[in-house]
Each structure stands twice: as C-alpha cells, then as structure tokens.
C-alpha cells in the first residue's frame, strides 16, 4: 500500500502536518525552512500572518529572518508576548491583543496593521534548548481553539528540530569556508618566508618558522643588496591570527621595499615606523630586527626595535653575550628618534641567534618558561654544528621542555654562524 493510500483517510490538518514534516526533512537551507514554517503555520491555522523568531543566545534576543508582512527586527528575549513564550517555554494564546498588557503596539503603528489574536509557541530542539518562537496572528474566523493550539505545538516541535539541524549545518559549512580561506592564507604567507638562504663564503645561515595558528604574526626575510651584502629581517607582531598576519605581511613589504633603496638600517626603521604608526590600532606594535650582513668584512650591522634578546656566542671564550633592543617597537610612536645602529664583527665559529619570544616564553605544564638561559646552554652545547642543526636543536629543546603544553605563540628563528 502506498503512502498516499495510507494518508487518504486522515484529517486534512494531519495530512498537512505530515506533508510539512516531509518537506522540512527534505531541505537544510535555513531561509527555505523558515519560509516553509511561516507558510505552513498560516495554512494550517487559517491565519493572516506569521512571524518566526530565532533565538540569539549570545545577545539573549529574538530576531526575525522571515516574517510575513513586516521587516526583520530584534527584540529582547523577555519582551512582548513572543518573549513571554520564550521565557516560560509555554504556548500563549491571546484572544484580544489590545487587552493584553504584554502586547507591543509599535509594530501595528508602524505598519497600519491591526492585530486581533495571537498564538505564540516556543520552538525547542532535541537537546531541550530554545531555538525560537513561532507567532501566528489573526485567525480568520474567531480565536485560536484548543485544536489549533495542538496543531501549532506539533508544527513547532517539528520546526524546532529541523531548524537546529539546519543551523548546525550552516555553522559547519561556514566553518569549512573559513578553514579553506585560512588554508589559502597560510599557503600565501608561507610562500613569503624564504625557501633558501644566502650561500655566503664566510657565513652559514638558517631560518625557520612555525605559526601558532594557521597564520601568524611573525615575518622573516633575506634580501640580496649586492656587493656581498644581505639584508636580514625578523619581525613579530603582537598576538597571532588573521589581524597580526596582515600587519606582519605589510611590515615585511615595507622593510623589504625601503631596504632595497638604502643601507642605513636606522633610517629604514624610522620610515617604516612612521608608516606603520598611521594604521596600528591601540596596544598593537611590531618588534623588528633589521640587519645588514657584510660577507666580505665579516660584520653584521643591525638595529633592534623592541626585538630581543639577541644572542652572540663567542667561539674564543665559549660564552654567550646577550643584547637588548636598541629602541621601542614600531607602531607605538611616530617620528621616534632611533639610536645609531650596532655593529658586530664576528670571528670564525661565532654564532648570532635571533628568536621571536615564542621560543623564550613557551611554558611547560608547571607554568615555567623556557627562558633565555636554557637556550644559551643549547647553543653552547651545539656550537660545533651547522646553523641549521643549531636552530633545530633549540627547537627540540623547547619542545622537550614544554612536554605536553601546547604552542602558545608563533615561532621564528634565524641562526648566523661564521665559518
């Protein structure tokens, strides 16, 4: 026996409810579902208008995406008759709207419509959470009967589950779209990091980066300036994620463009600082190390704007010297006068190490930070290794120290060793 034969002996409203249940199950498009619930509620209850309010848990408001006869709007979840149905989670039947003190007459005033009768039903999902409220207005003949209420509650029960399913799917698809966009952004950002490092006569150089999230706020770059000189850039924007990543890419582009035209690192830092300061939001800044490595002279001339500590292993003594920043981070104060650049004359076996603070501040499960001293010890132990192996020995030491504690900040490092 076909489904049509089984339903042929059912009352019209029961057949309509079954038809609606099949229709709601056949689509996961939220706007289509909302429109169907409004349409079926008016049809089944022989009403003039209907409004389906969704519940916004974050703001504790009821809002409309689909409403018959009115524009979309928001109301507090405890306001009006719809709000009362939401709060009590019970169906409310109002035979005379203007005699009920909970009725808000403003919508009628704005639209010229005259509300007579109201039936408000809460929509509850299968986890017993409020999804919204279905409000039906003006039954065409008389008031809403107990049978009408039973039909409305059955409709609302079906709609609550269907809407939850649709919203979960909508949220899932939005998450998928966001993850896809982040993956593209990650690929773009990773392409901005150097794939190879300068092959110099007197220096062995290695660099490495791993963001905390899909994209991060660190930047690293090398630029051939000609005549055996190379520009080195290491930057760290406060925070991590999409915003810092955008600032990081902009800072890298500015440093790269201006460094290609002049070699005075302090002038470059000053110009980039003024450009960044125009656009930075409150409490945001960029720490930057900018250096020029002279392969012929065996020297590194640099300026550190808030980036530190800088570690210099001296092969002659086996000690590690530390240097702090020479000026404030970029983006805090325009027209800041940065002090003169520093020059390091390196000897064979010397190591200069630049690390963003994600290395130093990574905590273990006891809330202890890796710190500067432990990293200095790693450099001393592995000083005979190549730059690549020294950098990865530092990373391995940090990961071993942190044990099960997750990475909390972006990690970027550069190691320069004089051969």
pLDDT by residue (tens digit) across 79-123? 899 999 999 999 999 999 999 999 988 888 888 889 999 999 998
In the chain, CATH 3.60.40.10 sits at 193-418
Give the Cα separation of 136 and 28 in Å (integer): 23
- Among candidates 259, 193, 222, which has minimal Cα distance to 411? 193
Angle, helix 30-45 to helix 146-192, in steps of 10 degrees: 170
pLDDT in tens, 368-388: 999 999 999 999 999 999 999
The per-residue pLDDT for 302 is 95
Q: Are 197 and 205 in contact (CB under 8 A)?
A: yes
State what percent of residues in the chain have pLDDT above 70: 91
* Domain 193-418 architecture: 4-Layer Sandwich (3.60)
Residue bearing the bigger pLDDT, 201 or 194: 201
The per-residue pLDDT for 6 is 41
Give the Cα separation of 132 and 77 in Å (integer): 9
Confidence class for position 26, pLDDT limits 50, 70, 90: low
Q: Peptide bond before 309: cis, by omega within 30 degrees of 0?
A: yes
Mean pLDDT over 188-194 rounds to 78
Q: Are 245 and 215 in contact (CB under 8 A)?
A: yes
The per-residue pLDDT for 9 is 47
- CATH (residue range 3-174): 3.30.450.40
3-state SS, residue 326: coil
Most confident of 126-130, 217-221, 247-251, 297-301: 297-301
**Lowest-pLDDT range of 16-20, 140-144, 322-326:** 16-20
The number of C-alpha atoms within 13 Å of 24 and in the hemisphere containing its C-beta is 26
The encoded tokens of residue 214 equal: 């899909």
In the chain, CATH 3.30.450.40 sits at 3-174
Mean pLDDT over 137-152 rounds to 90
Give the Cα separation of 278 and 266 in Å (integer): 19
**Lowest-pLDDT range of 70-74, 172-176, 360-364:** 70-74
- Residue 121 contacts by C-beta under 8 Å, 6 or more apart in sequence? 85, 91, 133, 134, 135, 136, 152, 153, 155, 156
Distances in whole angstroms, Cα of residue 385 to Cα of each of 62, 107, 379, 418 = 64, 77, 9, 11
Sign of the torsion formed by the C-alpha atoms of 372, 378, 380 and 386: negative
Confidence class for position 155, pLDDT limits 50, 70, 90: confident
Q: Are 218 and 244 in contact (CB under 8 A)?
A: no
Residue bearing the bigger pLDDT, 74 or 27: 74
The per-residue pLDDT for 1 is 43
Mean pLDDT over 340-365 rounds to 94
The encoded tokens of residue 149 equal: 């209420």
The per-residue pLDDT for 10 is 44
Confidence class for position 5, pLDDT limits 50, 70, 90: very low
Ordered DSSP codes for 284-301: --EEEEEEEEETTTTEEE
pLDDT at 20 over 70: no
């Amino acid at each position: 026996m076909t489904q049509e034969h089984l339903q042929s002996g059912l009352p019209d409203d029961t057949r309509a409810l079954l038809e609606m249940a099949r229709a709601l199950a056949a689509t996961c498009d939220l706007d289509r579902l909302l429109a169907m619930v409004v349409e079926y509620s008016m049809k089944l209850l022989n009403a003039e208008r209907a409004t389906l309010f969704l519940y916004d848990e974050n703001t504790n408001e009821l809002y409309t995406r689909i409403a018959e006869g009115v524009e979309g709007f928001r109301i507090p979840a405890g306001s009006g008759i719809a709000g009362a149905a939401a709060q009590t989670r019970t169906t409310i039947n109002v035979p005379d709207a203007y005699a009920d003190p909970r009725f808000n007459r403003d919508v009628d005033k704005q639209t010229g419509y005259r509300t007579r009768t109201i039936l408000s039903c809460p929509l509850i999902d299968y986890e017993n959470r409020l999804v919204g409220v279905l409000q039906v207005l003006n039954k065409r003949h008389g008031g809403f009967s107990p049978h009408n209420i039973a039909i409305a509650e059955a409709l609302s029960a079906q709609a609550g589950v269907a809407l939850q399913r649709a919203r979960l799917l909508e949220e899932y698809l939005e998450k998928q779209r966001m993850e896809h966009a982040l993956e593209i952004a990650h690929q773009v950002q990773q392409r901005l990091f150097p794939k190879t490092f300068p092959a110099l006569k007197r220096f062995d150089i290695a660099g490495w980066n791993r963001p905390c999230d899909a994209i991060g706020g660190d930047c690293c770059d090398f630029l051939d300036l000609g005549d055996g000189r190379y520009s080195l850039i290491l930057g760290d924007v406060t925070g991590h994620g999409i915003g810092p990543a955008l600032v990081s890419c902009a800072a890298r582009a500015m440093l790269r463009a201006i460094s290609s035209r002049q070699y005075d690192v302090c002038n470059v830092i000053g110009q980039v600082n003024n450009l960044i300061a125009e656009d930075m939001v409150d409490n945001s800044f960029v720490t930057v190390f900018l250096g020029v490595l002279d392969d012929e002279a065996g020297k590194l001339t640099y300026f550190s704007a808030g980036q530190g500590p800088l570690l210099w292993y001296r092969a002659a003594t086996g000690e590690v010297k530390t240097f702090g920043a020479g000026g404030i981070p970029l983006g805090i104060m325009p027209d800041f006068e940065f002090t003169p650049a520093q020059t390091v004359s390196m000897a064979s076996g010397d190591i200069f190490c630049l690390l963003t603070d994600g290395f130093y501040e990574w905590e273990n499960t006891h809330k202890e930070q890796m710190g500067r001293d432990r990293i200095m010890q790693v450099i001393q132990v592995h000083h005979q290794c190549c730059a690549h192996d020294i950098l990865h020995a530092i990373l391995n030491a940090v990961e071993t120290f942190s044990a099960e504690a997750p990475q909390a900040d972006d990690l970027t490092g550069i190691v320069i060793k004089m051969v």
